Amino acid sequence: MISVANQSLRPAEVLLVDDRSGDDTLANLMHVARAYPPGWVKVLAMPENRGPSAARNCGWAHASQPWIAFLDADDSWHPHKLWLQMQTLQDDPHIDLIAHDMNVQPRGTPALALRYPVRCRISPRRLSLFRSSFPTASVVLRRDLPFRFDESRRRAEDFLLWAQILLSGYRCARLNQVLASWHKPPYGAGGLSGDLKAMYQAAVEVRGVLHQQGLLSTGQLYAAHTIGFARYLRRCVLTSVRYGIAAAQADSR
């Protein structure tokens, strides 16, 4: 929330969604809302825990502004994120979704300096096979797009949504800047993304859905599956190395 309040271009409204977490989250969110001007921060409470897709869709449904951005509790934004994205959208009003790069760094670490010149690249209408083109905390999109997160999924739901938007022909763009940060590795570090095998299987299922919807050809599907499996093996190796280093450091203390 701090990184949202510190934006050089503050959002018109902030919607905090409690996904019936079962702890003191709702009370904490209400406390956060009271720390800001009345009405700027609104707290939405889900009736039951239904996962990140339902929580994001809830915020989407209650949003009053033409553009929507997303931020999970484990992530933060660069102070100039929204200003740069909205400036780009003013320059090119035909863009439907705009994203940017993200990095992994400890919470409280200063944001990276901007790299000039700031450039916007229109994304080709094809699925990136080597990386996620649109990390969720990087995305700003039109509220009226005819898509939503698939609430039947608790993994890879964001990958499915961004792919559906891009492959359906909507104009998507990416800035050449790191404007948001993960404060834990985006895979293999716990939570829903911590189960690498489950994440891999979810990605396989999503690519199958895209193929069934006619958004991926059979050739593209097989190529994506092959490269996806290679990425899965690489992540397993990197996660094992990370755990090994952490264990060695713990033993040396």
Q: 113-119 — which CB contacts under 8 Å span 24+ positions?
A: 114/80, 114/84, 114/177, 115/176, 115/177, 118/84, 118/175, 118/176, 118/177, 119/175, 119/176
Better pLDDT: 83 or 126: 83
What is the rounded CA–CA span in Å between residue 108 and residue 159?
28
pLDDT in tens, 143-178: 999 999 999 998 899 999 999 999 999 999 999 999
Q: Is the pLDDT of residue 194 over 80?
A: no
What structural domains does the chain harbor?
2-183 (3.90.550.10), 186-253 (no CATH)
- Mean model confidence pLDDT for the chain: 90
Q: Which amino acid does the sequence have at 154?
A: R
pLDDT at 130: 46
Within 8 A by CB and 6+ apart from 7, the residues are 77, 79, 80, 81, 82, 83
pLDDT in tens, 77-123: 999 999 999 999 999 999 999 999 999 999 889 999 999 999 999 99
- Token pair in block for residue 18: 């409690």
Count of CB atoms within 10 A of residue 63's CB? 17
pTM: 0.86
pLDDT in tens, 243-252: 777 666 666 6
pLDDT at 232: 86
What is the rounded CA–CA span in Å between residue 40 and residue 89?
23
